[in-house]
Amino acid sequence: MEISLDPGWATGLALASTRVAAFAVASPIYTRILPGVGRIALVLVLGLFFSHPVVIPDVYGLIAAGLINAVVGVALGFLTGILFHVFQVAGGVLDFSSGLSVSGVLDPMTGHQDTVFGRIFGVAAGAIFLALGGDQLLIVGLGRSVDAIPLDGVPSIHAGLADLAVSLLGKMTLAAVELAFPAVAAVFLVELALGLANRMVPQLNAFLVGMPIKIIVSLLVVAVMVLAVPSLMDGVISETWRTMTRALTGLTSG
């Protein structure tokens, strides 16, 4: 029995899978919420869904089309994933101020070291992102990218994409500091109180006494801060969708 395969469909599937794979690799969102096997399944399913027959006459054209789709996927994944770093950066700031930054362990999902609060914030953000349907918006955005920039098309990059990336980095840093500020302020007040106590009672070992107190205070404040994460994530998802729209405009209006 012979199995016939349309070269146009095979080419389209390869190019669509390349774009989706580049997006999944560059996006910290899917790196955080999906394991390696899940990302492979995502690439295959979405690649099949977004593919259409593409006729490319030579090998050099096929390689060029593959590189272009990879660039488009990386650009979209990086830009739409910047704001998702808010929670991990906030957790890292809190870990540093509370003294837990030395407790970093390897996160098998991302391949990087994660600290206690960074891991807690990252897992919570990923779960809320899925619950609010953020993954569906990203898939819709990928589908629109295929319409805006065909699999065999060439993007027209606008210089405003660099300004967009810088603006998003500024928003991410500001939001992370605002999220971590209550806990950092509470830990600072604890350290101030311990410093005054150490001045009045020199025999007191402020380091040994202060470490568990700072951790307990951090946990209590984080328990309250978690209540603000869903509303913040809702804003992140809305801004991510606007970023997807602006990124597609920047890739087609150069």
In the chain, domain spans: 7-252
Give the residue from 174, 188, 176 showing the smallest Cα distance to 218.
188
User: How sure is the predictor about 244, in pLDDT bands with cuts at 50, 70 and 90?
Assistant: confident
Task: Please state, in angstroms and rounded to a whole number, the distance separating the CA atoms of residues 136 and 129.
Answer: 10
Beta bridge partners of 105: 114
* pLDDT of residue 5 exceeding 70: no
Mean pLDDT confidence for 85-91:
82
pLDDT of residue 102: 62
pLDDT class of 148 with cuts at 50, 70, 90? confident
Structure tokens that stand for 202 in this block? 């020199």
Q: List pLDDT tens digits, range 150-209.
A: 888 888 777 777 888 888 888 888 888 888 888 888 888 887 887 777 777 766 666 666
The span from the CA of 178 to the CA of 101, in Å, is 19
Number of CB atoms found within 10 A of residue 163's CB: 11
Instruction: Say what the pLDDT of residue 1 is.
Output: 43
State the helix-helix crossing angle for 134-148 and 36-50, rounded to 10 degrees: 40
**Average pLDDT rounded to a whole number, residues 3-16:** 76
CA dist., res. 197 & res. 199, Å (int)? 5
Nearest CA-CA partner of 83 in 219, 238, 206, 240: 240
pLDDT in tens, 30-59: 877 777 788 888 888 888 888 888 887 788
**In 10 A of CB 158, how many CB atoms?**
17
Residue 223 confidence (pLDDT): 80
DSSP output for the chain: ------HHHHHHHHHHHHHHHHHHHH-HHHHHHS-HHHHHHHHHHHHHHH-------SHHHHHHHHHHHHHHHHHHHHHHHTTTHHHHHHHHHHHHHHT-GGG-EEETTTTEEE-HHHHHHHHHHHHHHHHTTHHHHHHHHHHHHHHHS-TT------THHHHHHHHHHHHHHHHHHHHHHHHHHHHHHHHHHHHHHHHH-TTS-HHHHHHHHHHHHHHHHHHHHGGGHHHHHHHHHHHHHHHHHHHHHHHH--
User: Is the pLDDT reported for residue 126 higher than 60?
Assistant: yes
Task: Please give the average per-residue pLDDT across 85-108, as a whole number.
Answer: 73
Tokens of 64: 């060029």
